[in-house]
Structure 1
Amino acid sequence: MIDKTLRVVLAEDSVVLRDGMTELLGARGCEVVAAVGTAPALLAAVAEHRPDVAVIDIRMPPTHTDEGIRAAVEIRATTPGTGILVFSQHVETAWASRLLADGAAGVGYLLKERVARTSEFVDALHRVAGGGAALDPEVVTQLMRGGRRRPVDALTPREREVLELMAQGRSNRSIAAALVVSERAVEKHVAAVFGKFGLVATEADNRRVKAVLTYLAESGT
């Protein structure tokens, strides 16, 4: 029987989800010592509170790409006594591999849509805090395939649509009109594509061209 009060730092950029999870975990006997919405705030909260476990979403402000899991890797290195539970809709194989480079002890990676019961989630939290592992089978499968996956394979359907329109020479405004979304949403998708392709900003920034060339080369177009 689990009787230890678990001290948790929660990192989730959605205010509604963050508040809901805080209430849920409190009702299950956990103490949420900090609930934050950005990666820098997460790092500060972990340094201040030294929680038993940090629950971390992958995509957080400002780019909504991989800030959360980058922070998780940093926490793993600097605060090894804190368990890490990545809780997301996405599998980021490159960063997940880095997170698990020294073994899976004290690490969890669960997909939001595949957690059927609250009790399963809380059990996973305790297991990770105690030095165990909690990895969704889908995460394990993708990690095993990771060495053979192309960057294009990591794109979501929407990111692929945006990239296809970029390849047609369209601007973000034109892409937004074609997909009936906001220009800000397109900017987020473009940033995600750059991140997954490993394209960093330079003084002569031509990442759009490089992204399109990568797409054309890997898709055989």
Structure 2
Amino acid sequence: MTATAAPRVTVAEDSVLLREGLCRLLAEAGFEVVAAVGDGEQLLQAVGADQPDIVVADVRMPPTHSDEGLRAALVIRARWPSVAVLVLSQYVEERYATDLLAGDTRGVGYLLKDRVADVDTFVDALHRVREGGTALDPEVVSQILARSRRSEPLAGLTPRERDVLALMAEGHSNAGIADELTVSEGAVEKHISGIFGKLDLPAADGGHRRVLAVLRYLEA
């Protein structure tokens, strides 16, 4: 029986201590770290050379420590669409999440750095984006939800539909949402159907309706 190959990861983080900690954590979780770099330019070179399965990148890196990591992530999404990208940020910055989700929404994640300390959550997010899903930090979703309550596009959703949409945005499956809300999967499916209808997301959009619904948060 052939063993499943470990997911290959490139890490981009300018803090040496955090970079080494991420590499150790990933190795212990069963990933293969193929490169670990400290700035956006090195990240692009490493991805071009190694073609990893996943990139984990800090948003802010040298030389200006503004958005170099994010801009490198956007280039990776355009040049190598098969490479999943999970960006890490010290603070909630909704516009970065918006930029990251503006194109193809498959295989992309945005987490706060504090979330790395919750190893299970971090590893789950990595696997989710590698498999083509999305992973948005709950704090980002919470801020978007609070803002959306003052915005017209989502005004028609019920409180329970908002709860379901918030959990969808975090990347939970229907079963996961049912567990979080202590309801049946059938009830979750009805709520999601209601969300799609109220947000005018037709069946023709297929499975991407989940992500499109989250994008309505970001656009609100």
TM-score, shorter chain, exceeding 0.5: yes
Which sections of structure 2, spanning at least 5 residues, go unmatched? 149-220
Please name the residue that 1:13 is paired with. 14
Distance 1:89 1:32, change over 3 A: same
Query: Deviation of residue 116 (structure 1)?
Result: 4.8
Separation in 2, partners of 1:90, 1:4: 34
Separation in 2, partners of 1:146, 1:61: 32
Corresponding position: 1:130 with 2:121: no
Corresponding position: 1:62 with 2:89: no
Residue 56 of structure 1 aligns to a residue in which SS?
strand
Distance 1:87 1:4, change over 3 A: farther
Separation in 1, partners of 2:27, 2:55: 15
Which sections of structure 1, spanning at least 5 residues, go unmatched? 148-221
Superposition TM-score, scaled by structure 2 size: 0.61
Q: Is the 8 A contact 1:70 1:95 kept in 2?
A: no
User: What pairs with 1:4-43 in structure 2 (closer than 5 Å)?
Assistant: 4-43=5-44
Superposed CA offset, 1:167-220 (max 9, x none): xxxxxxxxxxxxxxxxxxxxxxxxxxxxxxxxxxxxxxxxxxxxxxxxxxxxxx
Residue 104 of structure 1 aligns to a residue in which SS?
coil
Separation in 1, partners of 2:140, 2:123: 19
Corresponding position: 1:98 with 2:93: no
Residue 91 of structure 2 aligns to a residue in which SS?
coil
Distance 1:14 1:106, change over 3 A: same
Separation in 2, partners of 1:84, 1:146: 26
The structure with more radius of gyration = 1
Separation in 2, partners of 1:138, 1:49: 32
Matched to 2:112, the amino acid is L
Q: Is the 8 A contact 1:69 1:96 kept in 2?
A: no
Separation in 2, partners of 1:19, 1:64: 19
Please name the residue that 1:168 is paired with. none
Distance 1:64 1:49, change over 3 A: same
Q: Is the 8 A contact 1:9 1:33 kept in 2?
A: yes
Distance 1:53 1:143, change over 3 A: farther
Q: Is the 8 A contact 1:76 1:82 kept in 2?
A: yes
Query: Deviation of residue 50 (structure 1)?
Result: 0.8
Higher mean Cα deviation, 4-13 or 110-119? 110-119
Separation in 1, partners of 2:40, 2:132: 23
Please name the residue that 1:139 is paired with. 140
Distance 1:13 1:29, change over 3 A: same
Matched to 2:93, the amino acid is E
Separation in 2, partners of 1:103, 1:144: 22
Superposition TM-score, scaled by structure 1 size: 0.61
* Seq. identity, %: 57
Superposed CA offset, 1:70-128 (max 9, x none): 11111111110000101121233333212101243201111122445212211211110
Separation in 1, partners of 2:52, 2:84: 8
Residue 41 of structure 1 aligns to a residue in which SS?
helix
Distance 1:45 1:146, change over 3 A: farther
Q: Is the 8 A contact 2:53 2:84 kept in 1?
A: yes
Q: Is the 8 A contact 2:11 2:19 kept in 1?
A: yes
Give the paired residue count. 147
Q: CA RMSD in A?
A: 2.3
Separation in 2, partners of 1:126, 1:26: 14
